[in-house]
Amino acid sequence: MAGSSHGHTPAAWTGVIIAFIGFCVAGAFMVMAQPVGFWAGMVIVLLGGVAGAVMRSMGLGQPKQSGAFAHAPAVTREPAGAES
């Protein structure tokens, strides 16, 4: 998608970074066979989603577009039979 700014916002970056840290924590504790640490990492992953949503509601995310197909480009090509 050329020209798209999907995901290039402070809310998206913050949420993804926190979730990545949570996956790293969960993965490390999974290898160490420590279920409590694994679930703590999963909680951190969920906190990343919550942090991203809160930041988006504060206006730090991508603005909402109106309409269901606002991101789809309009087709302006003539039908094949119309060429002379």
For the chain, the structural domain boundaries read: 23-54
Task: Give the pLDDT of residue 1.
Answer: 47
Provide the sign of the torsion angle of the four alpha carbons 7, 17, 50, 42, taken in this order.
positive
DSSP 4: -
Q: What is the mean pLDDT of the chain?
A: 81
The reported pTM is 0.68
In this predicted model, what pLDDT tens digit does every residue of 3-36 receive, in sequence order?
555 668 888 899 999 999 999 999 999 999 999 9
Task: Give the pLDDT of residue 50.
Answer: 95
